[in-house]
Amino acid sequence: MNHALTMTAIAVLTACTLGSAPVSCANAQPAAEARQSTKTGNNVALAKFFADYDAQELSFHPEAKTKRGIRDTDYGDWDDPSDAAKIAEIKRMQAAVARMEAEFGKQELNEADQLSYRLFQIQAEQAANAFEFRRNVYIFNQMNGMQSQLPAFLINMHRVTDKADAEAYVSRLNGMGPLFDALVAQSAERAKTGVIAPAWVYPYVIEDAQNIISGAPFEDGADSPLYADLKQKVNALAIPAAEKAELIAGGATALRQQLKPAYEKLIAEMRRQQKIAPQEDGVWRFEDGEDYYSERLDFYTTTALDATEIHQIGLDNVARIHNEMRKILKRVGFKGSLQDFFNQVRTDEAFFFKSREAYLAVADEKLAAMDAALPKFFDTLPKAPLVVKPVEAFREKSAGKAFYQRPTPDGSRPGVYYVNLYDLNDMSSTELEALAYHEGVPGHHLQLAIQTELSGVPAFRKFASVTAYSEGWGLYSEELGKDMGFYTDPYSDFGRLGMELWRACRLVVDTGLHDMRWSREEAIAYLTENTPNPEGDIRKAIERYIVYPGQATAYMIGKLKIVELRERAQTSLGDAFSIGAFHDVILKSGPVPLNIMEQRVDEWIAGNL
C-alpha cells in the first residue's frame, strides 16, 4: 500500500544514525524482568511493551491485519486514509518511544533487546522525518497507485474461507466508494500545491481504473476482476447455493453503486490533472523538492550519502560491470563492440520466449535446482513454500517487471514471486535466472520468509522493511548464484551482469532525474546507451523511478555493503569463515540499517577470531 505513514510505512527501519537515549547503564541495577532474559530471549517487560504497541497499531490498521493473515471483527474495513489519522499515528509512535526510553533506557538489556530498543528509536526518527513530506506522494500512479493496489489487495490478500469472510469482502467493496472519494480529494488538494504527476502518468492510471470497472456486473461481457474474484471465492465455499447467490448479488450491488461511481470520479479527476500536468519529471520541481529528495535518499539507502556521491558510485560501477561484460564477449567470440552486443541481445528472437507458459516452466525449473543447492550455503532455511505467478491481467500493463509477496506467519498464504509477462519482448531469457534468484531463492523469498518466521523478536521487526537491506540482499543473491555454481550458460551470466548493471545505472538516472534535472528522455537515452535492456523495459523502468524517487538507489548501495562485509569476514577469519554462519548474521536480525548490519558482522568476526 502507498498510504503515507500507515503502519507499514512507519514500521520501516531505515536510518544511518541512532537515537540518543542509552540502551544500557553499567551502574544501574537490572529490574526483575531483565533477569528473566535468556540467551536469545527478551526482557519480559520490554517484550510486552513491543507487543502492546503492535496490538495497538494493528487495531487502527485492518489492512495490516489482513496482510498478516489475521481475520478479526474489522476484516471488512479499510484503513482510515485521513490526514488526521496520520497525525494521530505519528503522535502515538513518538509517545511510545518516549515511554520506552523512560522505562527501559537505564536498564541493563541483553544484546537482542538492545538491538530492538535501538531499532525502535530509529523507526521513530525516520517516521518523523518522512512525516514532514507525507503530502509529496502521488496517490495515483502507474507503479503502486491506489487504483490498482487496492483491488490487488482484495484479490491477493483477502482470504474467504467461510460466509463471514465473504461478507467482509462485500463490506470492503462497499467501503471502496467512500475510500476512493477521500483519496481522490487528497490527490486534488496535492495537485493545487504542485504535487502533480507528469502528464504521461495519467493514461496508465486511467486505463487501470477503466479495467476495474469494465465487464460484468457493470456491463455485458466477461466478469470484471473483482467480480470474478468474489464469485470464485464464494462459489468455493461449502454453503447453500442460495447463500452464495445472495453474497454474489450483494457484491454486484456494491460494485455498481459504490465502486463504479468512485472510479468514474477518479477517472474524471485524472483527466483534469492531465490537462494541467507539468512536462518536467523530477521532484526537484516541488516547493520542498530538494529537501524531500534528500530525505528519500536517507530513507532508502540508510546512509548519509548525498545525490552527487550516489551518482558517482553509479558511474564507477557502470564502468566496472562493462569491463566484466567485455570478458564474456570474448568468451562467446563476439567481434563487435559492447553496444553492438547490447543491440543483439535486445533484438535477437533467440533471447525471448514464445509463450508465458514456457517462461514460467523454465523459472520453476531454475528455482527448483537452486532450492536443492541452498543447504550448502545456508544454515537457516525458510519453511514457507514459494510459488511463481504471472501478474494479473488488469494491472500487468502498468505494473513493474517482477515483485515478491511475503507469506503469512500462519502458513495460510505462501510466498509469491510475481513475474510480469505482459510483453515477452521485455523479458529476455538472459535475465531469467538472475530475476528468479532475486525474487525467489536465495533472494526475497528466503530473506522475507526467514524474517517472518523469526522467533524471539518483536513484531515491529518481523514485519518491517528496510529497502537497502532487503533489496541489497536480493541483488547480492543474484551474484551468490554464481558462487553456487549456476549461470553455466555464458549468455545467462551476461544477463546476471546486465541485472547488476541495471542497478548501477539506477544510481545514475535516479539522481539525474531528481537532483540534476534530467528529463525522462535523457534518462531513457542513458539506459539505452549503457544497458542491453529492451526499449519497453527501459521506458517502464525510468517511469517507475520518476514516481518513486530514491527507492531505486537502495539496491546497489545495499549489495555493495553486503559484499564488502563478506570479503572482510573471509579475509579476517580465513579457514574459520563459514558462509552459512555469515548469512545467519545478515538474515537472523531481520531488516536493519546498513551501519547496524556492519556493526553486527564486525562483532561476529571479533567473536570468531
pLDDT tens string 180-210: 999 999 999 999 999 999 999 999 999 999 9
Identify whether residues 246 and 377 lie together within a single domain: no
User: Residue 586 in contact with residue 473, Cβ under 8 Å?
Assistant: yes
Residue 403, phi then psi, degrees to nearest 5: -160, 170
Q: Residue 216's beta-bridge partner residues?
A: 223
All three cell numbers of 107: 536498564
C-alpha cell at 244: 452464495
- Domain assignment present for 600: no
Q: 201 and 93, same structural domain?
A: no
Q: Which of 233, 260, 287 is the last residue of a domain?
A: 287
Residues 45, 128: one domain? yes
Q: Which helix (H) or strand (E) holds 563?
A: helix 554-573
Domain containing 168 equals 146-287
| Closest-CA residue to 138 (of 281, 260, 15) | 281
Residue 365 falls inside a structural domain: yes
pLDDT along the chain (609 residues), means of 10: 34 32 29 36 88 98 97 97 98 98 95 96 97 98 96 97 98 98 98 97 97 98 98 98 98 98 98 96 98 98 98 98 98 96 95 97 98 98 97 89 94 95 95 98 98 94 96 98 98 98 98 98 97 93 97 98 98 98 98 98 97
Determine, yes or no, domain membership for 254.
Answer: yes
Query: Does residue 304 share a domain with residue 261?
Result: no
In a domain, 574, yes or no: no
Find out whether 554 and 300 touch, Cβ atoms under 8 Å: yes
Final residue of a domain: which of 541, 559, 577? Answer: 559
Q: Is the domain of 277 the same as that of 353?
A: no
Query: First CA to last CA across the chain, in angstroms?
Result: 45
Of the candidates 493, 524, 497, the one whose C-alpha atom is nearest the C-alpha of residue 508 is 524
Q: What is the DSSP string of 114-140?
A: HHHHHHHHHHHHHHHHHHTTGGGS-SS
Checking 522-530 for CB contacts under 8 A at 24+ apart, the result is 523/281, 529/339, 530/318, 530/322, 530/501, 530/505
- Is 174 in a helix, a strand, or coil? helix
Whole-number Å distance between alpha carbons of 221 and 146: 25
Asked if residue 21 lies in contact with residue 99, where contact means CB atoms within 8 angstroms, the answer is no
The burial of 330, by beta-carbon neighbours within 10 Å (0-12 exposed, 13-18 middle, 19 or more buried), is given as exposed
Kind plus residue range of the DSSP H or E element containing 418: strand 415-419
Q: Angle formed by the axes of helices 225-235 and 201-212, to 10°?
A: 40
| Total residues found in the chain within this entry | 609
- Contact assessment for residue 114 and residue 152, using Cβ atoms and an 8 Å cutoff: no
H/E stretch holding 417 reads strand 415-419
* Angstrom distance (rounded) from CA 548 to CA 592: 21
Are 424 and 531 found together in one domain?
Answer: yes
Which of 287, 312, 334 delimits the end of a domain? 287
Cell of 408: 503469512
Are the beta carbons of 230 and 310 closer than 8 angstroms? no
Give the chain's domain count: 3
Same-domain pairing of 273 and 301: no
Residue 525 near residue 519 (C-beta atoms within 8 A): no
Contacts of 321 (CB under 8 A, 6+ apart): 497, 500, 501, 504
541 assigned to some structural domain: yes
The answer to whether 63 and 153 are in contact (CB under 8 A) is: yes
Same domain, 158 and 255: yes
Question: What crossing angle do the helices spanning 432-439 and 490-514 adopt, rounded to 10°?
Answer: 70
The set of cell numbers assigned to 154 is 482484495
Predicted local confidence at residue 42, as pLDDT:
63
Question: Is 2 domain-assigned?
Answer: no
Answer yes or no: do 298 and 278 share one domain.
Answer: no
Question: For the segment 311-363, what is each residue's pLDDT rounded down to a tens digit?
Answer: 999 999 999 999 999 999 999 999 999 999 999 999 999 999 999 999 999 99
CB 351 within 8 A of CB 430: yes
Other CB atoms within 10 Å distance of the CB of residue 203: 14
Cβ neighbors of 258 (< 8 A, separation 6 or more) are 173, 174, 175, 176, 177, 178
128 shares a domain with 155: no
**The residue to which cell 530471549 is assigned:** 41
Asked if the structure places residue 566 within a domain, the reply is: no
DSSP state of 376: G
Q: Is residue 30 part of a domain?
A: yes
Cβ atoms of residues 234 and 248 within 8 Å? yes
Chain-centroid distance of CA 178 in Å reads 27
Q: Residues 196, 267: one domain?
A: yes
Side-chain-facing half-sphere of 181: CA atoms under 13 Å = 8
Query: What 3-state class would DSSP assign to 223?
Result: strand
**How far apart (Å, rounded) are the C-alpha atoms in residues 164 and 169?**
9
Task: Specify whether 126 is located in the same domain as 158.
Answer: no
C-alpha cell at 57: 497499531
Q: Decide if 597 contacts 469 (C-beta within 8 A).
A: yes
Burial environment of residue 425 by CB neighbours within 10 A (0 to 12, 13 to 18, 19 or more)? middle
Which sign does the torsion angle of CA 172, 177, 180, 185 carry?
Answer: negative
